Amino acid sequence: MRRLDVLGVGLGLLLGGGGLYGLLLWAGLDTGAAQQISSVVLLLACLGWTLGYLRRVLRGEMTLKAQWASFETQQIQEKLHSLSAEEWQALQAELATEPEGIPDGVEQDKN
The answer to the question of residue 56 being in a domain is yes
83: left (phi over 0), alpha (psi -120 to 50) or beta: beta
Number of separate domains in the chain: 2
pLDDT of residue 108: 53
Residues 14 and 56 reside in one and the same domain = yes
Residues 69 and 53 reside in one and the same domain = no
d(C-alpha 80, C-alpha 87), whole Å:
9
pLDDT of residue 111: 45
Contact (CB, 8 A) for 38 and 20? yes
How confident is the model over 84-107, as a mean pLDDT? 75
The answer to the question of residue 106 being in a domain is no
Cβ-proximal residues to 94 (8 Å cutoff; 6+ apart), any chain: 103
How confident is the model over 66-72, as a mean pLDDT? 85
Q: Hey, is 56 helix, strand or coil?
A: helix
Residues 16 and 54 reside in one and the same domain = yes
> By residue range, what is the domain housing residue 27?
3-60
Residues 7 and 37 reside in one and the same domain = yes
